[in-house]
Amino acid sequence: MGAKFLDQTAAIRAGAKAPISARTVNAPVQRGSTVLMPNAASLYEPGQVSYGRAGLQPHAALIEALCELEGATAARLFPNGVAAMTGAMMALLNAGDDVLVVDCIYDPTRRFCNKVLTRFGVTTRYFHPSLTAEEVLALAVPATRMIVLESPGSLTFEIQDVPGIAALARARGILTVIDNTWGAAGLTFKPIGHGVDISVQSLTKYVGGHSDVFMGAALARDAALGQKLDEVVWQMGWGVSPDDAYLMLRGLRTLPTRLERHAASTLDIAAWLQAQPEVMEVICPALPGSRGHALWRRDFLGGNGLLTVVLTPKPQNAVYALLDALRLFGLGFSWGGFESLAIHCDPQLKRRSLDWTYPGPLVRFHVGLEGIDDLKADLRQALDAYAAA
């Protein structure tokens, strides 16, 4: 019984021959798990895309764009920035290795080192970002395989001597990996040009730019390192959706324009904040006079929307009063979207390995694309709440 479906074959095959009807500005979103191979001999031929997990058209276009912007030879995409960082480390480390990590590293990277790498026989030691290249390399032992940098550091924005450390590390056969999320797809900093082996970025931040999509990328200096990244991505089974890759490509198109505005607004607000009585210090490497400014000027090509203030000493309830008074700045982790955000930093600073005491509480702001006078007014009334608490 039941209906007889005469068109089963047609339902499976119909429409497959429609020509691509128009050339669009951006690469088309190509969805697919199965990839049709041209003939039997090609099924097991190495060096070609034989399965969608390896990435299709939008992935290839995004990888090409990221390599071009950072001057990399190869790149792989990961589901988010944390996966890109941990993936790059897993691609290159072996049991028995020792890793030197800058102590201002993004906190989830620290957790991976302490909780996961230790289980696989890799030791991590942390060093202060203010060490010179010679002092960092003096910490290396024969088992040291990798130095991990993040410049500027998370929350407190210390600039490391990236070219100096990379050159000395290379001379000793030690790999360098950097978290270059701050560098906004290489627009403000190009680590590979400064001698770094692997440059990692969370595309979730400025490349996506709209706080609605996750992705990470690891970029390699040469083909051999690129091959190592390929293998770990393939063997661990990581992949990203074509729709998300498309959104990242779209974000890239407006990144220079957005970044210019973020950076200009941030410099203006940073200088204004310095004059507010509740602010002891503004940490913003692009701001003349800020800590890290000299190295930033030497190595970087531009600024972005991040700044951190050291407030005059007051208890935590005053910091809460400031944050809760903010109207335009949302309270949220992350940054790089079009909107302004704020967090207090002190709970995270306590998790660092070295001593990170400041004279007062730290609040990090991401300056978004809103009107600058509106942002200043919002900050001023929040500082009033701080002073009154």
The one catalytic residue among 97, 103, 179, 378: 179
Query: For ligand PLP, which residue of 86, 124, 144, 154 counts as binding (CB under 6 A)?
Result: 154
Instruction: Please give the single-letter amino acid code of residue 51.
Output: Y
Considering the rule CB under 6 A, would residue 204 count as an interface residue with ligand PLP? yes
206 as an active site residue: the answer is: no
304 binds ligand PLP (CB under 6 A): no
Does the active-site annotation cover 7? no
Q: How far apart are CA 39 and CA 23, in angstroms?
A: 28
Tell whether residue 307 is a contact of ligand PLP (CB under 6 A).
Answer: no
Considering the complex, what minimum distance in angstroms separates the CB of residue 374 from ligand PLP?
Answer: 25
216 binds ligand PLP (CB under 6 A): yes
Cα–Cα distance for residue pair 9/103, rounded to 1 Å: 61
- In the chain, at which residue ranges do the beta strands (DSSP E only) sit? 74-78, 98-102, 123-127, 144-150, 175-179, 198-202, 216-220, 279-283, 306-311, 330-331, 341-344, 362-366
87 near ligand PLP, rule: CB under 6 A:
no
| Dihedrals phi, psi of 249, to nearest 5 degrees | -60, -40
The one among 156, 181, 290, 340 contacting ligand PLP by CB under 6 A: 181
SS3 21: coil
Beta strands in 20-128 (DSSP E): 74-78, 98-102, 123-127
- Give the binding range for ligand PLP (CB under 6 A) out of 199-207, 222-230, 254-262, 293-301: 199-207
Q: Is 86 in the site for ligand PLP (CB under 6 A)?
A: no
Beta carbons of 198 and 220 less than 8 angstroms apart: yes
| Least separation in angstroms between CB 182 and ligand PLP | 7
Quickly list DSSP for 127-195: E-TTS-HHHHHHT--TTEEEEEEESSPTTT-PPP-HHHHHHHHHHTT-EEEEE-GGGTTTTS--GGGGT
Catalytic (active site) residue 246: no
- Rounded to a whole number of angstroms, the minimum distance from the CB of residue 234 to ligand PLP is 20
Tell me the C-alpha to C-alpha distance, in Å, between residue 316 and each of 276, 311, 322.
19, 11, 10
Among 56, 61, 74, 82, binds ligand PLP (CB under 6 A): 82
Q: Is residue 124 close enough to count as binding ligand PLP by CB under 6 A? A: no
Is residue 4 part of the annotated active site? The answer reads no
Work out how close the CB of 8 gets to ligand PLP at its nearest, in angstroms, rounded to a whole number: 44
Q: 3-state class of 342 per DSSP?
A: strand
Active-site position among 205, 228, 250, 291: 205
Q: Judged by CB, which is closer to ligand PLP: 325, or 366?
A: 366
Could you say which of 50, 80, 276, 353 contacts ligand PLP (CB under 6 A)?
80
| Tokens, residue 339 | 């909107």
Angle, helices 316-325/372-388, rounded to nearest 10 degrees: 150
Site for ligand PLP in 314-343 (CB under 6 A): 334
| Catalytic residue IDs | 53, 106, 179, 205
Binding site for ligand PLP (CB under 6 A): 80-82, 85, 106, 150, 154, 179, 181, 202, 204-205, 214, 216, 334
